[in-house]
């Protein structure tokens, strides 16, 4: 089974700063089926990025995804107050759905 | 637009079983891949397994095998997940989802003596 490892576990930043979140797979995966989610307390996850780099409907362009093979990155160019949350990567598709352990982006 | 509506909260005793349902509307039920995801209090997301109704056979990660059973009823467009031999650590919110876009509202399952 493929393992997704997210780093760092916690990112302490100020509004306006840039956030760079990493998701590393234990073996090469198709970028077509790599998603990033944002989750806030008491809410279901919300998809930000699918296919490694495509923004989901309604997602601001300060969110961007990149990567291929085993290394994927979510970048938030300038943090807004509503962006402080937990972020997960997921390998999805037929017969799979592994999540990374999550990165908490907190206010410094 | 796929909508997923899950059954209500459950309180169960250790050793018992729980079956959570996910009623689906919109989309083509039979060939979508439905996943079940759980989140224990303060913890991350864990994929429990999934099913494509038209194929009938579910896929599970190693950790879920043996205690988790995922089924689908095409006549009612409903997906089910049953967890048996419940333990305290199975207390969690359980979500059904069609990744990455569509998620149910979540079902809280509490295991308590």
Taking contacts as CB-CB distances below 8 angstroms, the residues of chain A near B79 are none
Average pLDDT, chain B: 95
Predicted local distance difference test score (pLDDT) of residue B97 = 96
Q: Which residues of chain B have pLDDT under 50?
A: none
Give the chain A residue whose CA is nearest to the CA of B36. Answer: A97
pLDDT, average across residues A54-80: 97
pLDDT, average across residues A46-71: 97
Residue B35 contacts A, CB cutoff 8 Å: yes
Closest in A1, A47, A86 to B100, CB measured: A47
Instruction: Tell me how far CA of residue A15 lies from CA of A39, A77, A81, A87, A107, in angstroms.
Output: 18, 10, 6, 17, 7
Residue B57 contacts A, CB cutoff 8 Å: no
């Amino acid at each position: 089974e493929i393992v997704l490892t997210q780093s760092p576990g916690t990112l302490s930043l100020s509004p306006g700063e840039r956030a760079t979140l990493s998701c590393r797979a234990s073996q090469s995966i198709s970028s077509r089926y790599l998603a990033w989610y944002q989750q806030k307390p008491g809410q279901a996850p919300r998809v930000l990025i699918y296919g490694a780099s495509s923004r989901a409907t309604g997602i601001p362009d300060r969110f961007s995804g990149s990567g291929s093979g085993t290394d994927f990155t979510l970048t938030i160019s300038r943090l807004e107050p509503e962006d402080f949350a937990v972020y997960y990567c997921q390998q999805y598709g037929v017969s799979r759905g592994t999540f990374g352990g999550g990165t908490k982006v907190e206010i410094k | 637009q796929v909508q997923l509506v899950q059954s209500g909260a459950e309180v169960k005793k250790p050793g018992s079983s729980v079956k959570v349902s996910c009623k689906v509307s919109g989309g083509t039920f039979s060939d979508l891949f439905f996943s079940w995801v759980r989140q224990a209090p303060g913890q991350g997301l864990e994929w429990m397994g999934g099913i494509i109704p038209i194929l009938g056979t579910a896929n599970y990660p190693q950790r879920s095998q043996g205690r988790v059973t995922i089924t689908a009823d095409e006549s009612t467009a409903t997906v089910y997940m049953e967890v048996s031999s419940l333990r305290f650590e199975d207390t969690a919110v359980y979500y059904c989802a069609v990744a990455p876009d569509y998620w149910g509202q979540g079902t809280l399952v509490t295991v308590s003596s």
